[in-house]
Amino acid sequence: MRLSRYFLPTLKENPSEAQIVSHRLMLRAGMVRQSSAGIYSWLPMGHKVLMNIQRVVEEEQAAMGCQQMLMPTIQLADLWRESGRYDAYGPEMLRIQDRHGRDMLYGPTNEEQITEIFRDAAKSYKELPKMLYHIQWKFRDEVRPRFGVMRGREFLMKDAYSFDIDDAAGRVSYNKFFVNYLRIYDRLGLKAIPMKADTGPIGGDMSHEFLILADTGESEIACHRDYISMDWVGTDVDYDSDLQPMVDTFTSKYAATDEMRDPEQEAALGDDLITARGIEVGHIFHFGTNYSEPLGAKVTTAEGGEATVSMGSYGVGVSRLVGAVIEASHDDDGIIWPESIAPFKVGLINLKTGDEACDAACDGIYNDLQTAGVEVLMDDREIRAGGKFADMDLIGLPWQIIAGPRGLKDGMVELKNRATGEREDLSIESALSRMTA
């Protein structure tokens, strides 16, 4: 992409409405614009990152055998009356009526919807287990939408649902998601710590929230120091193997969010205790028959009886993650994207747009990178070099190739690593082979 043609409305000044760094940087880097409180438009570069995160989630969900589908944003109130949640949900739910006066709502989540679909389709235990997910916009009329996309009213969530014959089988599905989530966050360059969450009336230990540590996080958390240095899951997970030992490793140490903290355990930890703030980037929950019971989702059993299916739901905050990654990865100059989700891998800076030789050399590098399948954003705007450097650092592409008349005379460019700030002078060929390796 040529920056002269790209829609990237960057801002030099810090927008006064933004209280935290990720929000400031997303506005300054031209990624999003607020439409109304907690509702955002995603501009081309923000949208690219959002879709890259979505792709990582999709790849990992596929790897664990969870199937993608798409449910609507608008749901019937009557369905939520069946589960009893229509009245219970409160003012966070956006309630609407269609022209026939029928009560509808903008989905804040999809347990009822998926349970209805499953109930009407599944008949026998032989069809279990099943894992299904979609990535869809949700609406929750949050009391305090803030921090940009981190706590929006409209936000993109991946929500998955598991269906099993009983709670023991449900635990197997739960463990798959548990490990899968560690994989997802790892690929996004994040260390998300699983913390025991409140399971409400059904009890048990099958609910975890995944939090990344950040000063701007909304939750006050406490955990064992070991989580900071713990080795994360490898790239190869055999989802058909027994994952309980792996889950046990990650849950063996103390880690709790505000409402789950235990002063006694914390006192016992002494110097091993860390208290910090955290951002919730995912939540998994096994809730048994909470929805399948009222909605009547049953299957026949091997013995010829009937069983109400045991379910779980598993959410990842896809749009919140864009902000969370920035909170975890930035410096004074701007964003530092991990390569896995960077909007472009390389930013090519033409230091002297309008200079014939310089333009020709940059076009050559640009074309070679494109041909090799490397995503590149070339700054070919007719502005001062200082402005180009500042914008390129601000938008945080992992690599910068800086090309000016002086170096190009000898066929040389500068390669800069955005994360480390390291710069080296290289021949065009070496720079290209480094970027395409």
Verify binding: residue 171, Mg ion, rule CB under 5 A. no
Residue 90 region, left (φ>0) first, then alpha (ψ -120 to 50), else beta? Answer: left
Helix, strand, coil percentages (3-state) for the chain, rounded to 5, are 35, 30, 35
* Binding partner selected for residue 46 from Mg ion, ligand ATP, none, CB under the kind-specific 5 to 8 Å limit: none
Nearer CB in complex with Mg ion: 218/368: 218
Taking CB under 6 A as the binding criterion, the range among 22-30, 262-270, 312-320, 355-363 that sits at the site for ligand ATP is 312-320
Under the binding rule (CB under 6 A), the answer on residue 217 touching ligand ATP is: no
Residue 170 identity (one-letter amino acid): G
Which one of Mg ion, ligand ATP, none is in contact with 115 (Cβ closer than 5 to 8 A by kind)? Answer: none
Query: Between 292 and 313, whose beta carbon lies closer to ligand ATP?
Result: 313
Q: Hey, what's the torsion of the CAs at 154, 155, 158, 161, to 10 degrees?
A: -30
Q: Of 111-119, 150-158, 246-254, 403-411, which segment contacts ligand ATP by CB under 6 A?
A: 150-158
Segment 91-130, which members bind ligand ATP (CB under 6 A)? 109
Q: Does 208 bind Mg ion (CB under 5 A)?
A: no
Q: C-alpha distances in angstroms, 352 versus 87, 358, 359, 362, 409?
A: 63, 6, 8, 10, 13
CB–CB of 133/161 below 8 Å? Answer: yes
Residues in the chain, overall count:
437
Closest approach of ligand ATP to the CB of residue 85, in Å: 13
Q: If DSSP states are collapsed to H, E and C, what string results for 254-282?
A: CEEEHHHCCHHHHHHHHHHEEEEEEEEEE
151 is a site residue for ligand ATP (CB under 6 A)? yes
Cβ count within 10 A of residue 143: 9
Report in angstroms the alpha-carbon separations of 213 from 11, 28, 188, 191, 228.
28, 24, 14, 8, 10
First and final CA of the chain: distance in angstroms? Answer: 20
Residue nearest to ligand ATP (CB): 317
Q: And the tokens for 88?
A: 């219970």
x/- mask, Mg ion, residues 265-284, rule CB under 5 A, reads: ------------------x-
The entry of Mg ion, ligand ATP, none that residue 288 binds, CB within 5 to 8 Å by partner kind: none
Backbone angles phi, psi at 34, to 5 degrees: -75, 135
317 contacts ligand ATP (rule: CB under 6 A): yes
Q: Is 155 in the site for ligand ATP (CB under 6 A)?
A: yes
Minimum CB–partner distance for residue 283 and Mg ion (Å) = 4
Q: Taking CB under 6 A as the rule, does residue 280 contact ligand ATP? A: yes
Q: Which does 152 bind (CB under 5 to 8 A by kind): ligand ATP, Mg ion, none?
A: ligand ATP
Identify the helix (H) or strand (E) that includes residue 382.
none
Which residue number, 128 or 211, has a Cβ lying nearer to Mg ion?
A: 211
- 111 or 379, CB closer to ligand ATP? 111
- Which of 192, 402 has the CB closer to ligand ATP? 192
Taking the C-alpha atoms of residue 122 and residue 7, their distance in angstroms, rounded to an integer, is 47
Residue 315 near ligand ATP by CB under 6 A: yes
400 binds, among Mg ion, ligand ATP, none (CB under 5 to 8 A by kind): none
Q: Work out whether 157 is an interface residue with ligand ATP (CB under 6 A).
A: yes
Distance of CA 400 to the CA centre of its chain: 25
Question: Can residue 171 be called a binding residue for ligand ATP (CB under 6 A)?
Answer: no
Q: How far apart, in whole angstroms, are the C-alpha atoms of residue 318 and residue 366? A: 31
* Footprint on this chain of ligand ATP (rule: CB under 6 A): 109, 140, 142, 151-152, 155, 157, 280-283, 315, 317, 319-320
Instruction: Give the binding site for Mg ion (CB under 5 A).
Output: 283
